Amino acid sequence: MLLFLEWMKIQIFFFPASTFEIPSLNIPGLELGGIQIPEQNIKLFDKTMVMGSVELVYPLYTGGFISSLIGQAEGGLLIAKRRSKEK
C-alpha cells in the first residue's frame, strides 16, 4: 500500500506483517517452519536526502582548433563592423 502525505511531501510504503513458508526438504530430523516478517514502514524520500553530480569535459589539446574558431569569430565581427560603416 502506498500512502502519500501531501503536507510533508514524503512517500511511505507500508508492508504488512507476513509469513514466508519454506518448502519441505524431506530430511529426517530437520523441521523448517515459516519465517515471520514484521510490519515495515519505509520512507522512500527523506527531506535530507540529496543527490547530484556535475561533469565537465574539457580538451587539453585540440591542435589549434579552438583558437582557429576564435580567430574566425573575431574576423567575422571585424568584417560586420566594416560593412556597417560602409552603409
Tell how far CA 44 is from the center of its chain: 14
* pLDDT above 90 for 82: yes
pTM attached to this predicted model:
0.32
Work out the pLDDT band at 49, boundaries 50, 70, 90.
Answer: low
Element (H, E) at 41: strand 40-43
The Cβ of residue 18 has, within 10 Å, a number of other Cβ atoms equal to 13
Least confident of 18-22, 27-31, 60-64, 72-76: 27-31
